[in-house]
A and B are shown apart, each in its own frame.
Chain A
Amino acid sequence: MGVDIATRVLPGIGVCQELELSSGRRLGIVTRRSGLRDLVLYDDEGDGAAVDVALTDDEANALAEILGAPQLTFRLAVLQRQAEGLIVEQLPIPRNSPYSGRPLGDTQARTRTGASIVAVLRHGAALPSPTPDFVLQAEDLVVTVGTQVAVDHVARILDGTDTTAG
Chain B
Amino acid sequence: MAAGGGGETHVAVLLVELGAILFALGVLGRLAKRFHIPVIPLYLLAGLAFGQGGVLSLSASHDFTQVAAEMGVILLLVMLGLEYSASELRSSLRAQAPIGVLDGLLNAVPGAAFALIAGWGATAAVALAGITWVSSSGVIAKMLSDSGRLGNRETPAILGVLVIEDLAMALYLPLLTALLAGGGAGRVVSAVAIAVGVVSAVLIIATRYGRHVTALVSAKDNESLLLGVLGLTLLVAGLADELKVSAAVGAFLVGIAVSGSVAETAAEVLAPLRDVFAAVFFVFFGLSTNPTQLLPVLPLALGLAVVTTATKMVTGYVAARRAGIKRRGRWRAAVTLIPHGEFSVVVAALAVGAGAEEKLGPVAACYVLISIVISSLLQRWPDRLRSEQFPGR
Contact = CB atoms under 8 A, between A and B. Distances in A.
Interface of A: 8-14, 16, 18, 28-30, 32-33, 38, 40, 42-49, 51-52, 54
Contacts of B163: 11-12
B149 A11 contact: no
B333 to A, nearest CB: 9
Interface in B40-64: none
B151 A45 contact: no
Contacts of A47: 152-154, 325-326, 328-329, 332
Contacts of B332: 47-48
Contact of A11 (B89, B152, B325): B89
A45 B328 contact: yes
A121 to B, nearest CB: 30
Interface string B136-151: 0100010011001111
A14 B151 CA distance: 10
B17 interface: no
19 contacts: A9-B156, A11-B88, A11-B163, A12-B80, A13-B159, A14-B150, A16-B150, A16-B151, A18-B151, A33-B267, A40-B151, A45-B327, A45-B328, A45-B386, A46-B153, A46-B326, A47-B153, A48-B152, A52-B150
Contacts of A48: 149, 152-154, 328-329, 332
Nearest to B158: A10
Given A33-B264, A47-B326, A48-B329, A11 B92 contact: yes
A12 B141 contact: yes
Contacts of B207: none
Given A40-B151, A45-B329, 18 more contacts: A8-B153, A12-B137, A12-B162, A12-B163, A13-B144, A13-B150, A16-B150, A33-B83, A33-B267, A38-B151, A43-B386, A45-B386, A46-B326, A47-B152, A47-B326, A47-B328, A49-B149, A52-B150
Given A45-B329, A48-B329, A9 B148 contact: no
Secondary structure at the B interface, as helix, strand, loop or mixed, is: helix
Contact of A32 (B92, B137, B150): B150
Contacts of A29: 151
Given A16-B150, A30-B151, A38-B151, A45 B326 contact: yes
B323 to A, nearest CB: 9
The 6 A-B pairs with the shortest beta carbon distances in the complex, nearest first, are A52-B148, A40-B151, A47-B329, A28-B151, A12-B83, A47-B153
Interface in B122-179: 137, 141, 144-145, 148-156, 159-160, 162-163
A49 B137 contact: no
Contacts of A16: 150-151, 155-156
Interface residues of B, number: 35
A159 B148 CA distance: 49
A52 B325 CA distance: 19
A47 B332 CA distance: 10
Given A13-B145, A47-B326, A52 B151 contact: yes
Contacts of A28: 151
B328 A10 contact: no
Contacts, number: 93
A95 to B, nearest CB: 34
B159 A12 contact: yes
B91 interface: yes
A5 to B, nearest CB: 13
A32 B145 CA distance: 10
Contact of A9 (B80, B91, B390): B91
Q: Which of A16, A40, A48, A51 has the most CB of B within 10 A?
A: A48
Contacts of B160: 11
B393 interface: yes
A11 B390 contact: no
Given A45-B326, A48-B332, A38 B150 contact: yes
Interface string B81-125: 001100011011000000000000000000000000000000000
A103 B151 CA distance: 37
Contact of B148 (A11, A14, A54): A54
A13 B83 CA distance: 7
Interface string B255-269: 000000000100100
A45 B155 CA distance: 15
Contacts of A43: 386
A45 B383 CA distance: 12
Contacts of A13: 83, 141, 144-145, 150, 159
Contact of A10 (B148, B156, B264): B156
A151 to B, nearest CB: 35
Contacts of B325: 47
Contacts of A52: 148-151
A54 B80 CA distance: 24
A46 to B, nearest CB: 7
B326 A49 contact: no
Given A44-B390, A45-B328, A49-B148, A10 B84 contact: no
